[in-house]
Structure 1
Amino acid sequence: MQREVWNNIPLLHVYNEEIKQDAPVILFLHGFMSAKEHNLHYAYHLVEKGIRVILPDAPLHGERAENVSEVQMNAAFWRIVLNYVKEVQEIYEALQAYGFNGKIGVIGTSMGGITTTGCLKKYDWIDAAGVLMGAVSYTEMAQFQIKQLEEQGIDVPMTAAQQQAMLEALQEYNVTTNRAIFERIPVVFWHGQKDSVVPFQMTYPFYETLVEQGRAQKVRYIVDEKAGHAVSRAGVLAVTEWLAQHLA
């Protein structure tokens, strides 16, 4: 494992001596208020399967943390996500420049899963993806967050006009508007039915529509009936095994 900085993005580069330049690569995107080091168990299982793993710190996270409050972090959530999406492209370009030319997968948990679906919408170089506790519609997720704040009696730090502008800006990242992506790219979803942070409904109904439309042949959806907002060990093992098979 190496600590490296690519294009001003601190990351962990995890591999062993058996992993060559043309081996598959997975970019692992961590969740909100997490950091790259907290997800090394995913890297362990993937490296064991012959996959190079890149774990970057998201903007304002890990080594990039700034002296801001949790309230300020919450207010910056979508700015973080959109910058995260942009930086995934920068990491991809660095991989090419360094000569790592194997198949590339992107996987993320929570905020990282949300970022992953945005990447699926924006980039055509992804060979496989894992969406763990994510959301396929940025606008639907943002509306849920706003509603949650209102129900808790917390002032939303935006005017109605600002909220509308934000929702309009997020629309272009909604992977729901290009379902053909899922006919082309293998994607595995994992979600707990009791998740209250990023609800199960943020992905499962969309998966059902893919099945109904005959577009789910390359999609696997793993449901954990008991889980909340945390991926089980069984989930980690199933997702890493699935991604390894589809990047082989």
Structure 2
Amino acid sequence: MFILVLLIIVVAILICIAYKLYNYALNPNSSKKGIFNSNNKNELRKEDLWINDFNDKSSVYINTFDNLRLHAYEIKENKSNKWAITVHGYTTNAEYMSSIAYKYYTLGYNVIMPDLRGHGKSEGHYIGMGWHDRLDIIKWIEYILNEDKNAQILLHGISMGAATVMMVSGEELPKNVKVIIEDCGYTGAKEQLAYKLKNMFKLPSFPLLNICNIIAKIKAKYFISEASAINQIKKSNTPTLFIHGDKDKFVPFYMLNELYDACNAYKDKLIINNAGHAKCEKVDSDLYWEKVIKFIAKFMK
């Protein structure tokens, strides 16, 4: 009897810890802040703030498969069939992709800058870790094609946004989607959370992540283990450029080669020396854009 009571207590404690893990990792309203934002205003460049000062952007909306209303900024100034969808990372928002959107705009692209579900001005009570977000990005692709049936579309994501666009790549996509740029994406949500449990909290992934997986299915309607960028990229036919900073301590650098090796589509990779997480474009903007522009020129005509 004592052993049974002890077992019940241990299970209850584990469930409580796993629920706290779910709340910390997947609840967009928890107390964590935008972990990729710079605290030093002196590090901000004019392009990092461009979208805030750009008056000719429009707020546009889509409805998702589960009846959420999602927001994006649309910049449609260029007489062009080229479109870029810029996808932000974990706990940030569309504005975080300002410098990326600015560059594509100067290159003659129309731009869609979504707020992912649970972020920015979009509805949602959980963070999708790229899984449900992949279906939302497909909705944004459909939105573009309703405006421009001849659109040539590229996807450019950073961090969770990079994982998202890789997860998109495993779906059946219209031929209008020409190229993907993924910058410091993780192999999968399960692997990423396991890494952070060990790295940040010195906790084992088993059994906490297994219990959290079930809680996520109940509350967010997906298993964390489903959100696998590496499984999706294996099915991809879309040319993909993989980018990572060699000093990334948030999404570990070793994930770059795991993803690159798993991809069977046309591919290339770029390593930015001395760049931490989501800092590649800031650390060496010239090299970053030289590589990106050369890569996409093969497919965006």
Q: Same fold (TM over 0.5)?
A: yes
Displacement of 1:169 after TM fit? 3.0
Alignment partner of 1:129 is 2:180 = yes
Alignment equivalent of 2:251, drawn from 198, 219, 225: 198
Alignment partner of 1:113 is 2:162 = yes
Name the structure 2 match of 1:51: 109
Alignment equivalent of 2:223, drawn from 140, 150, 169: 169
Name the structure 1 match of 2:199: 148
Q: Which runs of 5+ in 2 are unaligned?
A: 1-55, 63-68
Deviations 1:168-193, CA, capped at 9 Å, x for gaps: 934554343366545x3211111011
The answer to whether the 8 Å contact 2:129/2:227 transfers is no
- Number of residue pairs matched? 229
> Identity of aligned pairs, percent?
18
Q: Which amino acid aligns with 1:241?
A: I
Deviations 1:31-69, CA, capped at 9 Å, x for gaps: 122221232221222122222111011122222389xxx
Name the structure 2 match of 1:95: 144
The answer to whether the 8 Å contact 1:187/1:219 transfers is yes
* Structure of greater relative contact order (alpha carbons < 8 Å, 6+ residues apart): 1
Name the structure 2 match of 1:33: 91
Name the structure 2 match of 1:15: 76
Q: Secondary structure at the match of 2:74?
A: strand
Alignment equivalent of 1:227, drawn from 258, 267, 275: 275
The answer to whether the 8 Å contact 1:137/1:202 transfers is no
Q: Which amino acid aligns with 2:231?
A: T
Displacement of 1:228 after TM fit? 0.8
Name the structure 2 match of 1:237: 289
Displacement of 1:132 after TM fit? 0.3
Looking at structure 2, the residues matched to 121 and 243 of structure 1 have their Cα atoms a distance apart, in angstroms, of 20
Q: Which runs of 5+ in 1 are unaligned?
A: 67-72
The answer to whether the 8 Å contact 2:198/2:204 transfers is no
Q: Secondary structure at the match of 1:203?
A: helix
Provide TM-score, normalisation by structure 1.
0.77
Displacement of 1:223 after TM fit? 0.5
Q: Secondary structure at the match of 1:5?
A: strand
Q: Secondary structure at the match of 1:134?
A: coil
Provide TM-score, normalisation by structure 2.
0.65
